[in-house]
Chains A and B, each alone.
Chain A
Amino acid sequence: MTVMQQPSGAEILLRALRDQGVEVIFGYPGGAVLPIYDAIFQQNSIRHILVRHEQAAVHAAEGYARSTGKVGVVLVTSGPGATNAVTGLVDALMDSIPVVCLTGQVPTHLIGNDAFQEADTTGITRAATKQNYLVRQSEDLARTVHEAFYIARSGRPGPVLIDLPKDILIAPAPYQPASAEPHRSYRPATEPDPARIKEAVRLLKGAKRPIVYSGGGVINSGDAASEALVAFVRATGVPCTSTLMGLGAYPSNDPQFLGMLGMHGTFEANNAMHGCDVMLNIGARFDDRVTGRINAFSPGSRKIHADIDPSSINKNVLVDVPIVGDAARVMEALLAAWHADDARQDREALAGWWRQIDAWRAVDSLKYTQDSGPGAIIKPQHAIRRLYEITRETGRETFITTEVGQHQMWAAQHYRFDKPNRWMTSGGLGTMGYGLPAAMGVQIAHPDALVVDISGEASVQMNIQEMATLAQYRLPVKVFILNNQYMGMVRQWQELLHGGRYSESYSESLPDFVKLAEAFHGVGLRATGIDDLDRVIREMIAIDRPVIADICVDQKENCFPMIPSGAAHNEMILGPEHQDRTASITDEGLMLV
């Protein structure tokens, strides 16, 4: 007879992760988590991806989560491991991305003693997570892991952290499967109130100038939400715009799509938001990048706001019809109620509204002029247009991530998404250094897909060390750098708002990105003029290894249209292609970021 030894906390942890369907962990070892790494070594069902910095582990998990709809998992050590992960956690919190982050902690008897690599991780991350836990007793371990996954993916998703003292990982622990009982306190509502749905349909049917404004909530809800959104917009014939986070939920080549709205949104989208009489916001949160000056935001409209998080409703903008529910359920209910309601839609008014929108569209606010002469300098917008067109020609499944800044906005404007979960960008927190590790996570989840990080030469350096991770796991991620040798968005604001005083925004002493790629066992390519562009893009796509494509673009190009800080939607600045339209920035606007 053999005596069965009870498994250790670390083994129980892995068992709970397996039961939650976890296949991949992004992490970095250290003293406090050695028992977990030992347990990982002795099993084969969960794969561990060794990153080069803990922030990158969280972004990689975000990329994994956003491209699959699953929960991303992170494992880091105590102290600096945990503090390095904080930026990633806040990023996931702001963008509502389901992530479970496991952090090591000093043994329970040392907590509070300023032990080596001790940090008050739950204290530090309380405002950086949706929920966090410190496991103090072995019998709580398995239950806490299951609860963390439930919290991360339910309602409005978000990051959840579990702090694991080393003694808990070593001591034997009992296993409990996930409970079928509902959570004792956290039960977000997903079914919309039918009375509110009816009210919303009545408003939309009577509307003369309606608009649908969709956001990241539609993506988070899953494919059914995007399908229901498309079905509703098509059935009603109304125009649809999207936030940065929502791109892809509605196909961007569809004639009813007005493009992105907000600070760098299209002329037609922003003017339609300003001039509409009924607005349906589905899964967006009236962010300041979307609304512009809040008291001048869409002044004449009745607003319907559907969100799974009641605290998003009436936070920035007071609404007429609040609807709490999951985006898919809300859109399905709206469509059913639309067909059931016997009131007639004012199709004539809608046709007039479309004529107005088409007039705004004719302004062609994303227009740029690419000089085609030999050696002509590459316009960044054109680089993205060509990247889009060429990737489309290949017919390959393509995922795009970005860093933060001008290149991000140009990507949002000029790359066209027609499916959800193909576009990963740091929207809420605006984290430079997001794109490369996020692309890594996407490529792990989709090994055969084409994954491109559209980046800038400044942002990419914030997590450039992850090139080593790409090499180690043979991840053929493409880093497509729009290199203008400036922190472009900072430079643009300095030009427009600070008298052209380019304080600290020039990227001095840039690395040679071609050699840098080679140093990291990848391939470096460079395009310095328009004649190189297509060749470099095609070559980049064809190479089955990590590639950095250094695209040298026009240094002075600005991102337009732009709603200056403190201005309203109808006060957009258009680019040099549209010299006749200008707007000025107020002192109040200068204080805004």
Chain B
Amino acid sequence: MPKDIPHPAAPPTFSGKEAAALPHRSATISVLVDNESGVLARVIGLFAGRGYNIDSLTVASVDAGGSRSRINIVTSGTDMVIEQIKAQLARLVPVYRIAELSQEGPHLARELAMVKVISDGANRAEALRLAEAFRARVIDATVESFVFELTGGTQKLDSFIELLRPIGLAEVSRTGVAAIARGTRMLSASPH
């Protein structure tokens, strides 16, 4: 049976804690929104206006009728800031649900990168060997260049790109993180 991930309607208690002593952490937040015009601007404006970080943001329509979109945001801050981000997102009118996947049980997070390498000789051969080791696919090739496609966690993509940097890395295009809970837990549009 699918299980709803609860909407964070109840704020946590910070009994006995000092704001300044809270540790800094990363958070992956998924937001299910009405696909109305301006909804992405509303979410981005919230982050910009209140000075929150956006490390990654992805958005796409996710239902059959195209009436709902899912926004995945990777952000960072102290517990207090992340709780505040969640509360601010939850009170936007077109938001159905939000979940911090990184806190509410195991989850999967993936992104896709297309990486262009322009090189020759040994560097070109080395790039191809690295691609094989990372299970990246070659999706375009010329005599001077490759475009690799790689899917995986952010760190895996980061290391692949770093390794290619000295051997002809020319251009990178990344999608940002898409995330989903493991198992039967899900983010559904039933209202909070």
Contacts and interface: CB of A to CB of B under 8 A. Distances in A.
A189 B84 CA distance: 17
Size category of the binding interface on chain A: 35 or more
Interface of A: 122-123, 126-127, 130-132, 134, 136, 151, 155-156, 182-189, 193, 196, 294-295, 302, 309-311, 313-315, 317-322, 324
- Among A196, A317, A318, A319, find the residue whose CB has the most chain B CB atoms closer than 10 A: A318
A237 B20 CA distance: 35
Dominant SS at the B interface? loop
Nearest to A195: B10
B143 interface: no
A261 to B, nearest CB: 21
Contacts of B80: 314, 318
B87 interface: yes
B38 interface: yes
B83 interface: yes
Contacts of A294: 19
A155 B93 CA distance: 11
Interface in B1-45: 8-20, 33-34, 37-38, 41-42, 45
B175 interface: no
Contact of B11 (A132, A156, A324): A324
Given A130-B93, A311-B87, A318-B19, A324 B41 contact: no
B183 interface: no
B191 A309 contact: no
Contacts of A184: 34, 96, 191
B123 to A, nearest CB: 47
Given A310-B90, A311-B87, 15 more contacts: A123-B41, A127-B45, A134-B37, A156-B91, A185-B34, A185-B96, A187-B191, A187-B192, A302-B15, A310-B9, A311-B88, A314-B83, A315-B84, A315-B87, A320-B13
B20 A309 contact: no
5 contacts: A185-B96, A188-B91, A311-B88, A311-B91, A322-B12
B66 interface: no
B95 interface: yes
B115 to A, nearest CB: 35
A208 B164 CA distance: 66
A35 to B, nearest CB: 23
Contacts of B96: 184-185
A132 B14 CA distance: 34
B38 A322 contact: no
Contact of B42 (A126, A151, A155, A302): A126
